[in-house]
Every structure is written in structure tokens, then in C-alpha cells.
Amino acid sequence: MDKLMAAERAPQTRMRAQQARFQQQTNALENFKTRLSDLQTSIKALGATDNAYGARSASVAATSGWSASAATGAEAGSYKVNVSQLATRTQRVGASDVGAGLSASSDVSALTIGTLSIAGSITAGEFSVNGARISVAKTDSLQDVFNQISTKTGGAVSASYDPATDKVKLESLNEIVLGSANDSSNFLTALQLFNNGSNSILSPKSLGVVSVGSAIANANLKQPITAVDASGNGSFNINGVDIAYNVNTDSLQTIVSKINASNAGVTASFDKSNDRFTLTNKTTGDVGLNVSEASGGLLEALGLNSTATVAKGKNALFTVDGGATRASNSNTLDEAATGISGLSVTATSETEQTITVGADNTDLRKRIEDFISKFNAVQTFIDTATKTSTSGKGAVSSSILSGNLEVASVSSSLRGFAFSSVPGLSGAVQRLDSLGIDFKTGTSQLEIKNSAALDSALTNQPDAVKTMFTDSANGLSTKLNAYLTQAIGVDGPIASQTKRLAKQSTDVDNQIESLERRLASDQARLERSFVQMEQAQSNLQSQLASLTNAFGNSRK
């Protein structure tokens, strides 16, 4: 019975083979659609009315540090740009030493060296004075260290602090020698004490600096801030922009950040070594940097108001091709500054450089090469998927889409687009072969046969090339894009074939299911008949046995 049922199922095997063929054809059509979509993407890139057509590049000597760029349509040529003065930024340099001194008196026994408000923090360790080793910890007071200096040198060297000058002084009857190669504490350099070959060494400048991380009220400022309300609120103005602050909650670092983040157009910074603040315009050129506030305000305490020094910015001065001297606020000399359309030059030194502007066809040529590659990929797929061949013995073999006329017709349609002229154009650029692009002999594959002709057209006739591809009515990209949109669209031939194959596969599924139901019924019927046959055979055997027994007994 199994062999009988297997024979009955033979049509199912053929049906499933047919379904597999349908799926292979569906996969091939999806592959074809992908390649057409890739081709459409490439032709759209050629149809984009962007800066690829007529693009320009600008070059300058690689070692000069200058840079240049040219916009689409910039006039090609060489230009000599001579910069005699670079643009600089206006700067408002605050007064130095805006921080209060370390102590109001010469008694420094309450000053812990680890928390001194000086330019650099003091590290624990040892340092030498006249060869004597002085050991310091960050918890020592400044007076503790002074006492050690005197004790370890046997009273030969004395140290003191002068509140009037905010400086430390070392004195001796003989030359003082500071430091040694194995010092581990920076105490001497932190307090600006250096050898001078004499018996008296004094810090060259005041030691106290502001504490930018502390609240303004506790920032160790030399000058008090009085232009605030009862809650400590105040404000100042930079270039017309108000900056608010609170002396009890804002730190000086917060104020610096507020200035830098504002629309005042300046950068604020703090120089700890000189204990001063600076405001610098973010833009170059001879433009103002104005500040204002009420008397007794924060800017005055920071040395940025009446005591500040203003260094006006300079404009860049330059000539083009030996012409009249021009000025620019910026070192980036745009077309408004140079008078050269589309050209922008950034100068970094006061010298003369030659700027060369020429065609930049890199992007456009890549787009054309990509179009050719995608076009050829479609044609190769069609040739492979639809070909048939005959062996020497006359046997014909076919490919997965052999006989598919709709697929084969795409090849001829694409060749027609590539070969035809664009209607309405005049001049030398009317179709692809005007750009040196043609079919490989005897094939449907495109190639750049004349690279020089392509480069010449892209360089010398960019507008004509652009029109050939992008004309809104008849451009090659316009027409081909419309054709491909229809070909791969939801109502196009590929979608229709895919739907038809899916329906055919479903019909085969239904046929297989119908056949399986019939075979199941036949198998059940055969199984019942087989059982009945076995039962009948068993009955016959029982009857035969009874007859044998009966006749056998009678003969005896």
C-alpha cells in the first residue's frame, strides 16, 4: 500500500518543483528591481540641480598655511594676494594683582600654607636654605615655616612677610643659597623666592591672588564690591549685553562662564600668574569692546573698567594682483573683501600667495561613473537571466527568466535612452556620446571611450551638461527617472509579474492540498478494505480448520 500511495503522490513532487521555479523567478525579479532602483538612485544624482555642475576648487601653496575655497561658478584663474597686516582681536587687559594680600599684618601664624590664596598650591616635602633641610606639611602655618628656616640655618637666615607689598623676604648677613637637586617641596617657587647672589631675596611681585572658585564675596578681591542690593545682586554690561551676578552665590569662574556663553561676543579669561582678567573679542578687526557698570561694581574690582588697558584690534590689509590696498575685519577674505566672485581665502601670515581657481569635476565625474556602473549592472543581469543556449547535440537550456519579454524589453529601452539625443538642445552637448560615453562594441554596456572629451565638457560646458541631464521636460535624468519609476512601481510590470507568480504558487498549494485530501481518503478506504480482507481470510482459515477436523475424525 505504501508503494501505491507513493505513486499516487508523484504529481505533488512535480507541483513542488513548479513552486520552487516560481520562487526562483520571484527572487530574480526582486533582484532585477533592486538593480533598477540602484540605477534610478544614480540617475537622480545626475539630475540634482546642486553644486556638482560648475563646481570650482581653489588651491594655495601647501606649505603656506593658507587655505582657500571657491563656490560654484567662481571665475577660474590665478590671483596674487599679498597680506601686509593680519587682522587681530580687540582686547581689554585688566589690571594685575586684583587679589588682596595674604595678610593684613605681618603676623602670618594663622595662615595655613596648604590653603594660601597664591598662584600655585604648595606641596608637602622638603626644601633647602643654605644647605639646611626644611620639612613642611600642608597643615603648617606660614610662620611655622619661617621659624624652621631660622632654626635650621642656625639663625643665619630670617624670613618675614610684608603686608604693605604682599611679599616674602629672606635676609642674612651673607649670601643666601636656595634649593637643591633633591628638594621635594615647591615652597620656594610657590612664594617666588629665587637665588640672586645676594644676602636679601624678595618675592618679585605680590603673592595674593583671587580665588575664582569661591563665592565673589569670599574670593579674596582687593577692592570691595558696593554696587549690589541688599541680597548681593548686581550687574554689568559688555557690548550692550547685561550680565547679572550675585556676590553670595556666584563664583568668579561662574562669571567667566556667563560672559563666554552670552551674546556679548567676547571671551573672558583669568591669568593666575599675573592675577588679572582679560576680555577678548571673539571676532577680529578694529571693532570696539565696551563695558559699563555702576560705580563700585564687579568689573572695577576685577580691574576691567577704568584701570584696564585696551589694545584695539587691527584690520587685515592686503592687495589683489598688485591693486589698491584693501581692508578686512577678518583674515578670511571673502568675495566682498577681494572682489572676486565665489572666492574665499584664509590668510595666516603676512606674505604673498598665489591662489589658483579651477574646475572641480571630482564629484560630477563620480556620479557619471556610478551611473555607467549601475546601467551596466542592469544590462548584465538581463543578459544572464534571459539567455538561452543550445548544446552541440541540439539540447536547449534556459535561464530563470528566459522568455520573459517584459524583462528583455527593459534592455532595449535603456539603450534607447542612452543613445538618443535630448530634444530641444543645441550645441555640442546633446547626448551621452557628446561626453565621450558610448557602448562597447557589440554589447549593451556603456563605457567612457574618450576621457579627455568628458573632462573638457565638464570643465568648459558645465551648463550644457547640466541641461542635458536635468532639463525638467526632456533631460536624460528626467526621462529615465520617470521610466524607472513606472517600471519598479506598485503597478509596474515587475510588481504585476511578482503578484502573478504568487497567485500561481498559491494555486499550486491549493492543488496539493486537494490532492492530499483525496489521497488521504483513498488511503483510509484501502486500509478499511485491507482490514476487511484480512478478516475474511481469517474466517476462511477457521472454516477450513473445522472441516479438516470433521472429515479427519470420520475416516478413523
pLDDT tens for each residue of 38-96: 999 999 999 987 778 888 999 998 788 999 999 988 888 999 999 999 999 999 999 99
Query: What's the CA gap between 187 and 253, in Å, rounded?
Result: 26
Q: Which domain holds residue 13?
A: 2-51+362-389+398-494
The neighbour count for residue 239, using CB atoms within 10 Å, is: 17
Identify which has the larger pLDDT, 508 or 160: 160
Q: What is the CATH number of the domain that holds 157?
A: 3.30.70.2120
Q: Would the pLDDT of 550 be above 90? A: no
- Same domain for 47 and 69? no
Same domain, 339 and 442: no
Residue 429 CA from chain centroid, whole number: 38
**How confident is the model at residue 13, as a pLDDT?**
75
For residue 525, pLDDT over 80 is answered with no
**Are 332 and 404 found together in one domain?**
no
Q: What does DSSP assign to residue 141? A: B
User: Taking 50 as the threshold, does the pLDDT of residue 556 lie above it?
Assistant: no
Asked whether residue 424 is domain-assigned, the answer is yes
For 299-347, what is each residue's pLDDT tens digit?
A: 999 999 999 999 999 999 999 999 999 999 999 999 999 999 999 999 9
Band the pLDDT of 553: cuts 50, 70, 90: low
Structure confidence at residue 552 (pLDDT): 63
Report if residue 185 sits inside a domain.
Answer: yes
- Work out the percent of the chain whose per-residue pLDDT is above 70: 96
Same domain (yes/no): 156, 67: no
The pLDDT value recorded for residue 96 is: 95
The residue from 147, 182, 202 where one domain ends is 202
pLDDT surpassing 90 at residue 555: no
Give the range with max mean pLDDT: 3-17, 65-79, 194-208. 194-208
Lookup: cell for 107: 603676623
- The residue from 359, 379, 413 where one domain ends is 359
Is 238 part of a structural domain of the chain? no
Q: Which of 453, 479, 494 is the last residue of a domain?
A: 494
Domain match, 131 and 190 both: yes
Question: How many degrees, rounded to 5, is the angle at CA 197 between CA 192 and CA 199?
Answer: 85
- Tell me the average pLDDT across 411-426: 90
